[in-house]
Structure 1
């Protein structure tokens, strides 16, 4: 299937984020057979060509410059969220935009929570060190947990030694913090558990719910390096190629903001998701390659999560989430980040491809990854002349998953788990874990 959109539409949507995804009623959904029949040459995206990408970038840079030139006042204030989103995506005009953020931060106490969230996210993403002195006096004015959390993580990014001070302040400002999933996650960060990570081999071997395929996304703590996605078939065996090599496809689970997974536009949370099918996105940064539709707890009903009829389905609880996990992992808090993220309202964190030019992030530790807003992203190669898809790690992953499940509805599960270490996750590390899981 060839999906074409007029370039003008793509330009208009150029700054759209990974979430929310709001597909039109005519969105294409894929059965396993349809997904397996696709070839890269079937897909094209005009804005991924050299000319199309240049037009998008020039339009975005012109928008940045226009917003930077606005005089102080309500119009400029309203333009700040889009300004900093574009600055972060294109790695452009970072120095020129800095004064506008530092000028706005002290005023955030009187702003609505959405404006607070947007500008505090910019502080965390782009200017943590410069913002930190302005955030300490602002913290008592942040009465919603989401802006408070973003400010606290920014202070931690600027100075990890700030943890004790923040741990003392949090319960004073939010006495019922334990009932808020964002603040629960923040307190876990401020007072980390001493327990070691349970054996990864036990998680990789866990049946979850027998008879369903599983994608296992191995990621580094901090998400600043490329991870690897593996596929476990419905029969429990990990997918290999004809030569016996383990299928292990590079995948990035880093958001541009670098915020934790319980916060809007933060990294992909660690934990268990369900997969409920595949479809095409309306977001121009994702492009036409089918995404796998992964859902968090709460976002998916218990019946949808378990792929059963709704009749007699239980209500969501932490115990229900834990019931999918091997016993050794049920009490380990970091792997419940997905549970907390679902409670916090995060949704539409998809497994998808990308049309963003990796050159924007040249020199980064995660290059050639292209972070967006918290989804799991696989790189794709687009023909510079036509915008036709040449090669896609996303399509390869989706097809490996579809073939491994032998289910027309593509139902299954996704595990996102952090693997201690430095540098990109390597196939050798993945192979060792799979061998241990087999034993």
Structure 2
């Protein structure tokens, strides 16, 4: 695989086709996971995609190679003297770069170098005129220094450099983020139990993806059937599925390709993608607010869409119990969709987890902001060894209907993966109250 092919692989749109029935697990195959293919990819990433790109002069003819190198660095967590040399060169020539190159470079710096380039980012923040690039630089500075005085300085820059910031969705969300970054409040257990109960008002199948606020740690998903029951194995054990809601860059939810936003997504069925990094295991097709027509988001025939004056937020909040509707986190998906985020799905992965061996989420793999389930492959024959993605889609598809809603919820900010015991306690509490 040459550098150009890798670039296409990284940037390819999620071409996919719908499936009517869950394929057999033994029929799922990917040659992309074979040992020799993985070794060739590692070699190509280091020598061609990054090495040759960053060792060549940066000009208008080679800039696209630098962009591709940045996208490879952040997705595969690559870091060495050559990568740092290339990033430094991009900072030197930042003003002459195309938007896509600037964005790829800033995402890489945010994801791979959390404090190394703070002075350079601070200089960019003072002059950046593009709202998305400004937001990335601002969140980098805020993460480096969470003090209230720094947040106030960033807020002042927003107002000075973008006088109409209130009409620019990403900056309006950044302004809110400055207030909440160090003030995270976890939902109460009673609120989560009420959400399980409220599913009978929505009357749709639901998937709940419980995550940590710190997305370096893996989460768990569970499936609630249309009748309110939860999917269990024949022996009564609750079905849980490991799922990572972290993007490769780790950027905040409101920035395109950042971490998966909390909130409500509409499940539109299942599909298989041709993207080699995602792989051939069926995925759950998700729609965000503003991504498609609201009648699509609400499955057309639902009784509640939105009020006659087109209050879409009101309609969105009807998918949550009343006590939850004022919680700031529940609208992350809504406002991220308004910013322009899209194409977030729940999928598997063919990426070699060894790139992330030293990360807290190993052996799961980060994405461009999707929900990625744990998948491990047999590198000798290209078949699945472990697939929480296959199991999740199978559980969701086991009962009638292929549509519903998916809720992404940060349980708390513990520095560890969400455990099965935590989720089981929530479900048992719901079931206990349900039978009383």
Tell me if TM exceeds 0.5.
Answer: yes
1:163 aligned onto 2:151: yes
1:312 to 1:403, Cα distance in 2 relative to 1, 3 A: closer
1:30 to 1:316, Cα distance in 2 relative to 1, 3 A: farther
Q: Alpha-carbon deviations, 1:224-268, whole Å to 9, x = none?
A: 101000101111111111222111111001000000122121111
Aligned equivalents of 1:13 and 1:119: distance in 2? 17
1:52 maps to which residue? 37
2:112 maps to which residue? 126
Q: Which moved more, 1:185-194 or 1:349-358?
A: 185-194
Aligned equivalents of 2:133 and 2:268: distance in 1? 32
Can you give the 5+ residue segments of structure 1 that lack an aligned partner in the other structure?
Answer: 1-7
Q: Is residue 214–residue 232 contact of structure 1 (8 Å, CA) maintained in 2? A: yes
Q: What's the C-alpha RMSD, in Å, of the aligned pairs? A: 2.5
Q: Which moved more, 1:195-204 or 1:246-255?
A: 195-204
Return the match for 1:279 from 246, 271, 284.
271
Aligned equivalents of 1:200 and 1:242: distance in 2? 25
Aligned equivalents of 2:352 and 2:408: distance in 1? 25
Aligned equivalents of 1:10 and 1:89: distance in 2? 15
Q: Is residue 248–residue 368 contact of structure 2 (8 Å, CA) maintained in 1? A: yes
Q: CA deviation at 1:102?
A: 2.6
1:11 to 1:130, Cα distance in 2 relative to 1, 3 A: closer
Aligned equivalents of 1:327 and 1:311: distance in 2? 17
1:432 maps to which residue? 425
1:299-338 map, 5 Å: 299-308=291-300, 315=310, 317-338=312-333
Aligned equivalents of 1:9 and 1:158: distance in 2? 37
Aligned equivalents of 2:233 and 2:370: distance in 1? 26
* Secondary structure at the counterpart of residue 254 of structure 1: coil
1:48 to 1:196, Cα distance in 2 relative to 1, 3 A: closer
Q: CA deviation at 1:165?
A: 1.8
Q: CA deviation at 1:216?
A: 0.3
1:369 aligned onto 2:364: yes
1:4 maps to which residue? none
Q: CA deviation at 1:379?
A: 1.7
Number of residue-to-residue matches in the alignment: 421
1:239 maps to which residue? 231
Q: Is residue 260–residue 369 contact of structure 2 (8 Å, CA) maintained in 1? A: yes
Q: CA deviation at 1:120?
A: 1.2
1:229 maps to which residue? 221
1:30 maps to which residue? 19
1:384 maps to which residue? 379
1:205 to 1:157, Cα distance in 2 relative to 1, 3 A: same
Q: Alpha-carbon deviations, 1:329-380, whole Å to 9, x = none?
A: 1111221010011111111111101001111100111111110111111122
Q: CA deviation at 1:175?
A: 2.8
Q: Is residue 41–residue 390 contact of structure 1 (8 Å, CA) maintained in 2? A: no
1:94 to 1:181, Cα distance in 2 relative to 1, 3 A: farther
Return the match for 1:86 from 72, 75, 83.
72
Q: Which moved more, 1:238-247 or 1:86-95?
A: 86-95
Q: CA deviation at 1:291?
A: 0.8
Aligned equivalents of 2:304 and 2:325: distance in 1? 24
Q: Is residue 272–residue 414 contact of structure 1 (8 Å, CA) maintained in 2? A: yes
The TM-score normalised by the length of structure 2 is 0.90
Aligned equivalents of 2:276 and 2:62: distance in 1? 26
Can you give the 5+ residue segments of structure 2 that lack an aligned partner in the other structure?
Answer: none
Q: Is residue 42–residue 389 contact of structure 1 (8 Å, CA) maintained in 2? A: no
Q: Which moved more, 1:393-402 or 1:77-86?
A: 77-86
1:78 to 1:9, Cα distance in 2 relative to 1, 3 A: closer
Aligned equivalents of 2:177 and 2:199: distance in 1? 29
Q: Is residue 214–residue 415 contact of structure 2 (8 Å, CA) maintained in 1? A: no
Aligned equivalents of 1:249 and 1:104: distance in 2? 40
Aligned equivalents of 1:392 and 1:120: distance in 2? 33
Q: Which moved more, 1:334-343 or 1:136-145?
A: 136-145
* Higher RCO (C-alpha 8 Å, min separation 6): 1
1:338 to 1:311, Cα distance in 2 relative to 1, 3 A: closer
The TM-score normalised by the length of structure 1 is 0.89
Q: CA deviation at 1:384?
A: 1.8
